[in-house]
Chains A and B, each alone.
Chain A
Amino acid sequence: MKSAQSIASINDFVIKFANVNGSGSASANELFARAVMRMGVPVAPRNIFPSNIQGLPTWYEVRVSEAGWLGARGGCDMMIAMNPQTWDRDVASLDAGGYLFYDSTKPMPASKFRDDITVLGVPLTAMCNREYTDPRQRQLFKNVMYVGALIALLDMEFGVAEALIVDRYRGKDPLIQANVHALRLGYDYVRAYLPCPIGLTIRRADAVGDRIFIDGNSACGLGAVYGGATVTGWYPITPSTSVIESFTSYCRKYRTDPDSGHARYAAVQAEDELASIGMVIGAAWNGARAFTATSGPGISLMQEFFGLAYFAEIPAVIFDVQRGSPSTGMPTKTQQSDLVACAYASHGDTRHVLLFPENPYECFTFGALAFDLADRLQTPVFVLSDLDMGMNESLCKPFDWDDSRRYDRGKLMTYEELEAGKDFGRYLDVDGDGIPYRTIPGTHPTKGAYFTRGTTRNAYAKYSESGADYVYNMERLRRKFDTAKNLVPAPVLHAASQPTRFGAIHYGSTSPAMAEASALLEADGIHVDTLRVCGFPFCDEILQFIADHEQVFVVEQNESGQLRSLLINEGEIDPKKLVRVLHYDGSPITARFISGRIADALSDRKISPIRKVAS
C-alpha cells in the first residue's frame, strides 16, 4: 500500500528504530547512523531505552540533517517497526506521508496499517530462519539485515557500511564475512522486490568535516585522564557508569607503565556513593587528583561529604550525569534537574562551582579543566552533563590539547617554602582572593602539618568556637566564590541578526535545540539574542545580558526552572524579567518546542512580530 503524498527529502529526516531491549539491535542501529555520517551527512542519534535489561521496548532515533542540526527534532518520517508490542503506537507516531518498514514474515491485517503512509515489508525472520540455525544468530543478523535493507531503500553506498563492519571487526575475518553477508541479504532483497529508492534518500555530502562522533560520558572519562586524575572511587548508577568505564579503559591504554605493567591510576568500585566521594576527598586531601561520577540519587547521598569538602576546602571533581528526578524518577530519561541540588549541596551556606558542557568536546575540555579549578580553588567542582549528552553519540569538533599546558595545582606550599620560614596558615587569606595555601601530608617533618576538620577553626586550622573565626572563614569562602566567577568558562553569546529587546539563556545539552530554535524564530521574523551559560558562579556578562534585554527566556529541562531560580537568587534579578521555557518529560528538548514557546509568549504579550511557528 502506498500513500499519494509520501514525504520526499534528501539528507533531512528522522528515522526511528523500534526494538525490544536485549535483542542486540544497538550495534546494528549504530552501524546505520555511522554509515550516514561516513557519507558526509551530519547525524544525531538518540537512544530511548527502559530501565531494565530485556524485554521492554526500546527506540533508537536518528536525525539526519545536512544543515547540521543536532538537537532532537520531534516527529518521525520513517519507522523501523521491529517490536510487535509497540506496533500500534509506532504506526501512530509516523508523520503523514511517512514510511513504515516491518518484518513481513507474518501477514498483518490491513487494520494494522494507515492509509497515509508507505509500508515496506521484508520477511526478515523467514530469511534468517533459512540462513541460520543458531537462535542468537537469527536475532542478531536480522538486525544487520534491516540495516542492509535501509542502505538500499535510502540509496546509500553499500561499500560505506561494509567498510564500517571491516573497521569494527578488524582482525576477526569470520565476523566480518558473516555481518557483510547479512547486510548483503537485506540489501539484495530490497533491490529485487521493493521499489527503491524511496522518497527519503541519503546523498553523499561534505557537511561533517573533521568532526568526531562520540558520546559525552566517554569524553568525560577522557577528560579525567587528560586532567591528570589518578584516583576514582565510584558506584554504578545509570546514566553515569560509562564515565568510569571510559576512564579505566583509556587509563589501561595510556596509563600503564610500559616497563613494569603497573597502573598509574587507581579505580575502586565503592560500596555506595557515600564511600565513593569519601575516597575522592581522602585522595585529594593527600594530593592526588580524584573524581567520581554519579547521577541525581548519588548527589543526594553525597551531600554531607560535599559540605565537608567545601568547608574543609578539599578539591574534588564530580561528574553528574543528570537523569529524570526526583527520587528514582525516570532513571533512563534525560533532565537538567540537579542544578540547585549541586549548586547548594549540603546543609548550611555552601556554594559550589558548576561547569555546563554542551557536547562531548566540552565534556572533554571542561572535564580536564575541572581538575585545575578544583585544585586552584580547593573546593568541589561539579561537571553537569545529562543522559542525552552522556549516553548518546554526537558529532563534535575533534579533541585537541596544548602540549605546553601544565596542570595548575593551585596554592601548594612546598618543603622549601616551609623550610625558608614562610608563614603557613592553612586558612589564611594571603593574597586576598579567598584561597589559602595548603600542604600535602608528609611534606615537612616539623612544619606545615595541620588538622583538617569540618568544625570551625581559625586561620591556622586550630579548632575554634569563636564567632569571629567563623565569620572570617565564611567571608573568605565568599571571596573565594567571587574569585571563581572569573575562572569558570565564559558564557557564549549568539547575537540575533537584528537588534532585539529579547534574549534567551540556556545551558548544556539544550544548546543544539536552542541554536535551531533561533533559526526557526528568525525565519519567522522573531529575533532573540541567546546566551549559553557555561559555569556557576555567574560572571558579570550574564547579569549584563539580562540587564540589556527587556525580557529574557530561560530555557531548561526541569519542572521548576532551576537555572532561573539561581539567576534570581545569585544575581538579585527581578523575577518578572525571566520567563520560563521548561521541558521535562524526559525526552530531549526540541527546537520546535523552544521556538513554539517563545513565539507563543511574545504573541500573548502582543509584542510584534507575532507570527507563530509550527509546533
Chain B
Amino acid sequence: MTYLAKPKLLSADAPRNALGYTRRDYEGAISTLCAGCGHDSISASIVQACFDLDIEPHKVAKLSGIGCSSKTPDYFLGNSHGFNSVHGRMPSVLTGAALANRNLLYLGVSGDGDSASIGIGQFAHAMRRGVNMTYIVENNGVYGLTKGQFSATADKGSKSKKGVLNSDSPIDLAALALQLGATYVARSFSGDKEQLVPLIKGALRHNGPALIDVLSPCVTFNNHSGSTRSYDYVRQHNEAVNRVEVILPRDPIETSYPPGSLRRIVQHDGSILHLRKLDVDYDPSDRIGAMNHLQERQALGEIVTGLLYVDSSAQDMHSHLNTVEKPLNQLGDAYLCPGSKALEALNALLR
C-alpha cells in the first residue's frame, strides 16, 4: 500500500467509455509491489475489465485480506471504497457488505496464503453460500511478505528459493470452488491479459460466487528454476481450455475468432458469454466434467486455464434469503421500527 498518488496527467485524446471515463478513472495509487510482480498485471486487467464494462467505479466495493495480493485493491479503482480486513477473513466481511447493499459490485481480492490456509474455511463457505462477488485469488504459491515460505497451493516437490523441498500436497482452489458450489469458476495466468480480462468481465457480470484463480508468479521469491510457479514454468505448462468474451446486450463486441467454435451462454443479467472452445470435448456447463478435467490434466502435470464452469441460471445469497429489493442499508426508520403500538400488543401477550 502506498501513500503516493499517481500524477494526474491525461492525454486529451485518451479513449473514453460510455460513461465518459478514461482508464485513468479506474486506476488507484502507485503500486509498491516488486517491479514485475504478476499482481500488478492482474490490477491492470481489473482496470481494463471495469473500463470496458462501463462500470461506475464508486459502485464497486473492493475487499481483501492481508498479504501482497491483498494490498492490490489500493492500486485500482481509486474512487471505490476499499477494505483491507484481516488475514483470510475477507470473505465474511464481503458477505456482510453484500448483505447490506445488494446493488453494489463486490470484488474480493485474495492470495493463496490468505485463501488456502487461514482463510480456507471462509473461502469455502462464501462459495457455498452463493455470495454475489468476483473473488480473485492472486496465486503465487509463496508467502512474499514474510520472505519465501511455501503456501498451501505450492506443488509437492517444488523448491523454495532457499532450496527447501515442499513435501505437502497442494490445494487446488478452483477444484475446491467447483466442489463447493461456486457458479463461475475460472483459472488464468497474470501474464495472459488477453484471456484474463474477459474472464474478469464475465465474473463481474455473473450473478453469484465467481472465482478466478490467477497464477501470478512472485518475481522475488518464486521465479527460480526449482519453482512450478515461475514465468517460464507456467508458460511451458499452460493449456487453455477456451477463450472467453463478454458481449453486453447494449454494446455487442465482434469477435475475431471463427464463429464455428463459439458457445453462447446467456447470464442472469442478460449478458452473453461467448466461449471459444479449444478442447472440443470440453463443456463449461458441466460441473462434474470440469472437476474431472482438472484432475486429469493435473495428473499430467498441466495447468488448465480458461472458464472451467459457469451456471448461467445461478441465484445469489439475497435470493436464498428472500430479502427485499431495496438495499437493507437504505431502509429508513419507518421500515424498520415496529413502533409503540406493536409493543403495547406484545406487552399484553406477555402478561
- The answer, yes or no, to whether B179 is at the interface (CB within 8 Å) is no
Cα–Cα, bound, A282→B331 (Å): 17
- The answer, yes or no, to whether A7 is at the interface (CB within 8 Å) is no
- The answer, yes or no, to whether A212 is at the interface (CB within 8 Å) is yes
Q: Is the CB of B85 within 8 A of A454?
A: yes
Q: Is the CB of A271 within 8 A of B342?
A: no
Chain A's closest residue to B101 (CB) is A286
Q: Is the CB of A305 within 8 A of B96?
A: no
Cα–Cα, bound, A400→B63 (Å): 40
Q: Is the CB of B95 within 8 A of A282?
A: yes
Q: Which residues of B contact A285 (CB under 8 A)?
A: 83, 93, 96-97, 100
Known: A257-B324, A399-B346. A451 touches B99 (CB 8 A): no
| Interface residue total, chain B, C-beta cutoff 8 A | 63
Q: Which residues of A contact B322 (CB under 8 A)?
A: 261-263
Q: Which residues of A contact B63 (CB under 8 A)?
A: 282
- The answer, yes or no, to whether B338 is at the interface (CB within 8 Å) is yes
Known: A264-B331, A270-B125, A444-B58. A401 touches B339 (CB 8 A): yes
Q: Which residues 275-296 of A have a CB within 8 angstroms of B?
A: 275-288, 290
Q: How far does the Cβ of B46 sit from chain A's closest Cβ, in whole Å?
A: 16
Q: Is the CB of A453 within 8 A of B1?
A: yes
Q: Which residues 80-130 of B have a CB within 8 angstroms of A?
A: 80-86, 89, 91-101, 103-104, 121-122, 124-125, 129
Cα–Cα, bound, A410→B343 (Å): 26
Q: How far does the Cβ of B340 sit from chain A's closest Cβ, in whole Å?
A: 5
- The answer, yes or no, to whether B209 is at the interface (CB within 8 Å) is no
Q: Is the CB of B96 within 8 A of A464?
A: no
- The answer, yes or no, to whether B335 is at the interface (CB within 8 Å) is yes
Cα–Cα, bound, A346→B35 (Å): 36
Known: A278-B122, A287-B329, A452-B81. A446 touches B86 (CB 8 A): no
Q: Which residues of B contact A262 (CB under 8 A)?
A: 322-325
Cα–Cα, bound, A401→B351 (Å): 18
- The answer, yes or no, to whether A96 is at the interface (CB within 8 Å) is no
Q: Which residue among A210, A285, A406 has the maximum number of chain B CB atoms within 10 Å of its CB?
A: A285
Known: A264-B335, A406-B333. A400 touches B97 (CB 8 A): no
- The answer, yes or no, to whether A492 is at the interface (CB within 8 Å) is no
Q: How far does the Cβ of A325 sit from chain B's closest Cβ, in whole Å?
A: 24
Known: A400-B343, A463-B2. A278 touches B89 (CB 8 A): yes
Q: Which residue among B58, B61, B122 has the maximum number of chain A CB atoms within 10 Å of its CB?
A: B58
- The answer, yes or no, to whether A265 is at the interface (CB within 8 Å) is yes
Q: How far does the Cβ of A101 sit from chain B's closest Cβ, in whole Å?
A: 28
Cα–Cα, bound, A304→B88 (Å): 12
Q: Is the CB of B96 within 8 A of A278?
A: yes
Instruction: Taking A271-B121, A278-B96, A305-B86 as given, write out 17 further A-B residue pairs in contact, using a Cβ cutoff of 8 Å, ordered by the A residue number.
Output: A263-B324, A264-B328, A268-B321, A275-B125, A282-B83, A282-B93, A283-B99, A283-B100, A287-B101, A288-B101, A441-B61, A442-B61, A444-B58, A449-B81, A450-B82, A451-B1, A452-B84
Q: Interface of B with A (CB < 8 Å)?
A: 1-3, 56-59, 61, 63, 73-74, 78-86, 89, 91-101, 103-104, 121-122, 124-125, 129, 317-318, 321-325, 328-331, 333, 335-340, 342-343, 346-347, 350-351
11 CB-based A-B contacts, threshold 8 Å: A37-B351, A260-B324, A263-B321, A266-B99, A267-B321, A276-B92, A279-B95, A282-B95, A282-B98, A401-B340, A452-B84
